[in-house]
Structure 1
Amino acid sequence: MVTFSDLFRVREFRYLYPAYALSYFGDQFAGIAVAVLVFDKTGSTLVTAVALAAAFLPSALGPVLGSLADRLPRRGLLIVCDLARAGLVALLAAPGMPVGAAIALLYLAHLFTPPFTGARAALMPEVLDGEAYIRGNGLTNLTHQISQVAGFALGGAAVVLITPVGALLVNAATFALSAALIWRGVRPRPAPAADGTWSPLRDARAGVRYVFGDPWLRACLLLVWLVPAFAFGAEAVAYPLAHELGGGPELAGVIMATIALGYATGALLLTRWTPPAVRDRALLPLAALAGAALLPLFAQPPAAVALALLFCCGIGCSFSTPLNAVFIQRVAPAYRGRAMGVAIAGLTGGQGGGFLLAGWISGLGVPASATVGICGALALAVALACGAAPALRRPALEVTNGSDPPAPPVGTRAATYRRTRGRHG
């Protein structure tokens, strides 16, 4: 079985992993710094929310911007994106920067995130093969969750100690260091073969058609988009739920951290200690657990029980970590950037939509605990519907076309898929 330590025997991964960890951890510093700077200058929660939305809204252009990862050499694209973000974030720290200009720069900086993510996701299966890639993807997802929790906590302290401007400069430095690591440790590769010149809209449409034209990819995306979107809706009503449970802001923070901790725990178990055959069979039941764990909240249980259920919900949602890796492995190399762009757009949109749905339900006067239960019922319904889809259960098809490999089903053993991928990956 491949272990996390085995991954670091691959030279390119030893550079790609810290590059990812540095840039994402620095983003947490920047998020808090931007919120403090904008609110201090304007006193407006709306303007502050507009600024913070920059981290999510540009992802809607993922299918368009992700197509760059299928047209340009991916190593060079990663470096350019990191350097561009380093320069733009550093400009945010300039003295006297008007709020409007700062927000515009922030949105511009985040426009480089979808092509960076697409290029990195497309490059990783070329760096790590087969089961090693699934382990590596699990480790990076685990790092993402830990960075999100620890980064926000340390980011708040950093803003106090080194000021918001200092936190922004730290974020810029992490991007610059990430670019240096990629330049030093990742070998150049040619751009994926592509016909004709780059046309953003045409390439984006081709990527969407490719993903949704494949029954397995389509069912996989719907499962990964919708189950967490509904299940994580609990975070949108964390404070009202904490109030119902007899707590306040501190308990609301614990509620959100508990879900993230459950996800990180599940991701670690699935990608580090679970044999591939067992892991594959567990993915659909875990997706169902993500919704089922929230149903008892209809009964308004005590706080300790509610937190245990939310932890189980997070564990259930961790099914998406290995499934995301299999999704990228399934996609033909020339489409991986665009496929990742489509996936990111749906994930971001789903997260925002789930939050809005939970907020709307709660706004109708439904108690927060019942709102979470409703979100759980919706997540469970999606998991059962997708689990019944023939595309996710049928055996792997025989490969006949190197540009369009078949989809590995959730229950297919990793060794079988490695044999398939070896002919085309």
Structure 2
Amino acid sequence: MTVTARAAKATAWSRPAFRFLLGSEAVTLSGSAVSTIDLPALAVLELRASTTEVAVLAFFGQLPNAVALWAGALSDRHPKRPQLIASDLAAASALVTIPAATLAGALTVGQLCAVTVVLGAAKVLHDATAISLLPALVDTGRLHDANAKIGAASSVADSAGTNAGAVLVGAVGPARSVLADALSFVVSAVLIWRMRVPEAATAPRARTSLTRDIADGVRYVARQPTIRTVIAALSPLSFGLAVMNTYWAYYLLNRLGSSPFSFGVIMGVGGAGGVAGALLAPRIAARVGIGPTIIVGFAVSPLAQVPLLCAGPGLRWQIVLAAALAVHLSWATASGTGQRSLRQAVCPAFQGRMQSASTTLTAGARPLAAATAGGLVLLLDVRATLAIGALLQVVPVVVLLASPIRALRTIPARTAVPHPRKGAPS
């Protein structure tokens, strides 16, 4: 086999730096999945949080998304490894305060809110930096393969983490279980520290004001039609999911009577669906096209909420909910892998700011979604609030069906960069 043939068959896995990034993403998601079980269990079962306190906790957890634009500009401006390490260590430091406060008998919902703010800020910086670093580690032709591998590893980690979280909550309690998440961030920081990335791949070319960097990135996203359309679809999807997620754990644990262990198993089965979606994403996109794959993933989301709205207590419904979540996350991961690769491929510059613009418009509205959910519960009830969140997820399907993305079969080559102040839309 010639060198050219071997290079053509090589995958993203052949790059050592990519393997370190993959390991970092997997281990942090595994730990965070533990906290997905622990923190709701702490709030609902031990601190007896009310529906208003649950909404406030969700609000503070999503609040850092409002500063995503600054995180994206920083990720484009400075070397990325130190930013990833700093965000991991900040998250670990915040988490260890929970078992410390529990031992002192001083844990409150207010402290949980403070911890979730730090975790959210660390996640915003980590995500903007990691996703903008990936195109520097692999070439454009391997982006879909790289994103599929990250998606598969993340889904495995998420599934393992939720099941481990359920076991740990039962064995040592939710407060001590949080230490597993703290440890995962430390391990991630070590992996990133061992990564070697040429500074030329991450260093900025010129110094400008941070505000100007942000404005340039926003203008670029507004003028790139593919990225603009995908983000326009992601925004209402994210808002609808955030409305539902405000009370999703509360609904299962309180209204449907699920135990933390059952809750963890449901999440774990859903994670297994995500693994399947990530592994099959390149194959699905090759068979039906990247555009239809993205659209089907969006369409499955509201349909998968129907069993939740019809569910009652008992094992039979728990099995149904686990299966629905598995189907949902399978298609969501395949769709997410496709749209993420598509955005990275057509964006020759502004990677961090492109991602942060997406985060701001999609996740930045989640605090408002949490507040909206809290207000809807006061006017209606939890089930009706979940139904409204599900209906909102129909909007992005209409947006995508009305766009050229529906006919897109392959990931196009990168387009020229429109000048943020002078150029015409690409």
TM-score range relative to shorter protein: 0.7 to 0.9
Q: In the aligned structure 2, how far is the partner of 1:106 from the partner of 1:253?
A: 20
> Given that residues 234 and 396 in structure 2 are in contact (C-alpha distance below 8 angstroms), is that contact kept between their aligned partners in structure 1?
no
> Given that residues 65 and 359 in structure 2 are in contact (C-alpha distance below 8 angstroms), is that contact kept between their aligned partners in structure 1?
yes
> Given that residues 160 and 268 in structure 2 are in contact (C-alpha distance below 8 angstroms), is that contact kept between their aligned partners in structure 1?
no
Aligned to 2:408: 411
2:146 paired with 1:136: yes
Aligned to 1:327: 343
> Given that residues 142 and 267 in structure 1 are in contact (C-alpha distance below 8 angstroms), is that contact kept between their aligned partners in structure 2?
yes
Gaps of 5+ in 2: 1-5, 417-426
Q: Among the aligned pairs, what percent are the same residue? A: 21
Structure 2: which amino acid aligns with 1:326?
Answer: L
> Given that residues 300 and 331 in structure 2 are in contact (C-alpha distance below 8 angstroms), is that contact kept between their aligned partners in structure 1?
yes
Per-residue deviation at 1:308? 6.9
Per-residue deviation at 1:205? 3.5
Structure 1: which amino acid aligns with 2:213?
Answer: D
Aligned to 2:204: 193
Structure 2: which amino acid aligns with 1:22?
Answer: V
Aligned to 2:353: 338
Further displaced range: 35-44 or 339-348: 35-44
Equivalent of 1:119 in 117, 123, 129: 129
2:402 paired with 1:388: yes
Q: In the aligned structure 2, how far is the partner of 1:350 from the partner of 1:80?
A: 25
2:26 paired with 1:18: no
Further displaced range: 180-189 or 9-18: 180-189
Q: In the aligned structure 2, how far is the partner of 1:325 from the partner of 1:28?
A: 24
Equivalent of 2:178 in 164, 168, 177: 168
Equivalent of 1:265 in 261, 276, 299: 276
> Given that residues 304 and 328 in structure 2 are in contact (C-alpha distance below 8 angstroms), is that contact kept between their aligned partners in structure 1?
yes
SS of residue paired to 2:289: helix
> Given that residues 227 and 317 in structure 1 are in contact (C-alpha distance below 8 angstroms), is that contact kept between their aligned partners in structure 2?
no
Q: In the aligned structure 2, how far is the partner of 1:222 from the partner of 1:417?
A: 22
> Given that residues 236 and 358 in structure 1 are in contact (C-alpha distance below 8 angstroms), is that contact kept between their aligned partners in structure 2?
yes
> Given that residues 2 and 132 in structure 1 are in contact (C-alpha distance below 8 angstroms), is that contact kept between their aligned partners in structure 2?
no
Aligned to 1:81: 87
Aligned to 1:63: 69
Aligned to 2:120: 110
SS of residue paired to 2:363: helix
Q: In the aligned structure 1, how far is the partner of 2:160 from the partner of 2:378?
A: 31
Structure 2: which amino acid aligns with 1:153?
Answer: N
Residues 1:296 and 1:108: Cα distance change in structure 2 (over 3 Å): closer
Per-residue deviation at 1:123? 0.7
Per-residue deviation at 1:378? 4.9
Per-residue deviation at 1:120? 0.7
Structure 2: which amino acid aligns with 1:385?
Answer: V
Structure 2: which amino acid aligns with 1:322?
Answer: G
> Given that residues 62 and 342 in structure 1 are in contact (C-alpha distance below 8 angstroms), is that contact kept between their aligned partners in structure 2?
yes
> Given that residues 55 and 371 in structure 2 are in contact (C-alpha distance below 8 angstroms), is that contact kept between their aligned partners in structure 1?
no
> Given that residues 125 and 133 in structure 1 are in contact (C-alpha distance below 8 angstroms), is that contact kept between their aligned partners in structure 2?
yes
Per-residue deviation at 1:202? 4.2
Aligned to 1:7: 12
Residues 1:193 and 1:266: Cα distance change in structure 2 (over 3 Å): same
Aligned to 2:32: 27
Render the CA deviation track for 1:96-146: whole Å, top value 9, x for unaligned. 466456643552343222122111111111112224221221232334344
> Given that residues 2 and 131 in structure 1 are in contact (C-alpha distance below 8 angstroms), is that contact kept between their aligned partners in structure 2?
no
Render the CA deviation track for 1:277-308: whole Å, top value 9, x for unaligned. 633142354146326846988x9799799987
Render the CA deviation track for 1:365-384: whole Å, top value 9, x for unaligned. 69959975x76665445323
RMSD: 4.6
Structure 2: which amino acid aligns with 1:11?
Answer: P
Render the CA deviation track for 1:320-344: whole Å, top value 9, x for unaligned. 32111221232233x2112212222
Alignment length (residue pairs): 396
Q: TM-score, normalised by structure 2?
A: 0.72
Q: In the aligned structure 2, how far is the partner of 1:357 from the partner of 1:312?
A: 27
> Given that residues 4 and 135 in structure 1 are in contact (C-alpha distance below 8 angstroms), is that contact kept between their aligned partners in structure 2?
no
Aligned to 2:299: 289
Residues 1:101 and 1:321: Cα distance change in structure 2 (over 3 Å): same
Q: In the aligned structure 2, how far is the partner of 1:103 from the partner of 1:229?
A: 20
Q: In the aligned structure 2, how far is the partner of 1:103 from the partner of 1:380?
A: 31
Greater RCO, 1 or 2 (C-alpha within 8 Å, sep 6+): 2
Q: Which aligned pairs between 1:158-237 and structure 2 lie closer than 5 A?
A: 158-164=168-174, 166-190=176-200, 191-199=202-210, 201-227=211-237, 229-230=239-240
Structure 2: which amino acid aligns with 1:341?
Answer: S
